[in-house]
């Protein structure tokens, strides 16, 4: 192998290693009561808020653009103001559309299938300025790795909400087959939130995903 080519390959490998994807961080959550879309159960001292990621300001800084592929990111914020730990292991968190459709959160496999288009399947070849171009191909394996990395960085880091703490994480919902506007009259339903100590199931949360429009508010 020519020395010039070998030197370039070494430099390329060093550059790629230096620019390898690093873990990303969620914005630290505020107490759930401070978000516009929330519901409080005073008897349980528990508040859950939701924040749809359908705008530039609220979208998570993920590696892949899930929203443009029909997966709506929704951040769920849970504030436990009680003296007892809350458990989310068995929680069912469904998107309830205006027509009554109940959509569970997408799994990593769902996201990988949705993001894996024909274009990405064929790969992308980038010619390099070498005597013999070396193709860099990205395809399904690259998408799979990014989905897993996004899940690690943006999902709930724990399913136990300790007393007097707030936890948050993003869930993604397949909205490809829903009529627009998607969020009108839609809710996020959370069932089977439990007390860790007794396994008691708490009351269901049904949180609107959009505030009423000013136009819908009766004027004096």
Q: Which domains does the chain have, with CATH numbers?
A: 23-109+156-210 (2.60.40.1230)
Q: Is 201:91 a contact under the CB 8 Å cutoff? A: no
Token pair 């894996």: residue? 116
Return the higher-pLDDT residue of 8 and 34: 34
When comparing pLDDT for 114 and 172, which is higher? Answer: 172
Q: What does the alpha-carbon distance between residue 90 and residue 212 come to, in Å, rounded to a whole number? A: 31
Name the strand (E) or helix (H) holding 10.
helix 3-18
Tens of pLDDT, residues 67-99: 999 999 999 999 999 999 999 999 999 999 999
Token digits for 32?
A: 């759930």
Going by C-alpha positions, the residue among 91, 87, 86 that lies closest to residue 163 is: 86
Give the separation between CA 129 and CA 20, rounded to whole angstroms.
Answer: 21
- What is the pLDDT, as a whole number, of residue 1? 53
């Amino acid at each position: 192998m020519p020395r010039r080519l070998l030197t370039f390959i070494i430099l390329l490998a060093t550059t790629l290693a230096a620019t390898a994807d690093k873990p990303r961080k969620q914005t630290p959550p505020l107490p759930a009561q401070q978000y516009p879309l929330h519901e409080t159960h005073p008897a349980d001292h528990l508040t859950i808020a939701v924040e749809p990621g359908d705008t530039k300001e609220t979208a998570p800084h993920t590696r892949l653009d899930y929203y443009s592929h029909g997966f709506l990111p929704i951040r769920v914020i849970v504030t436990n103001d009680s003296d007892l730990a809350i458990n989310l292991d068995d929680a069912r968190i469904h998107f309830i559309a205006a027509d009554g459709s109940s959509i569970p959160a997408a799994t990593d496999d769902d996201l990988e299938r949705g993001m894996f288009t024909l274009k990405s399947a064929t790969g992308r070849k980038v010619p390099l300025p070498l005597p013999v171009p070396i193709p860099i191909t990205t395809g399904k394996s690259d998408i799979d790795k990014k989905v897993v990395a996004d899940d690690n960085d943006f999902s709930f880091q724990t399913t136990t909400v300790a007393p007097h703490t707030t936890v948050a994480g993003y869930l993604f919902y397949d909205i490809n087959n829903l009529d627009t506007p998607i969020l009108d009259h839609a809710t996020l339903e959370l069932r089977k939130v439990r007390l860790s100590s007794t396994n008691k199931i708490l009351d269901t949360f049904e949180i609107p995903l959009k505030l009423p429009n000013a136009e819908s508010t009766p004027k004096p």
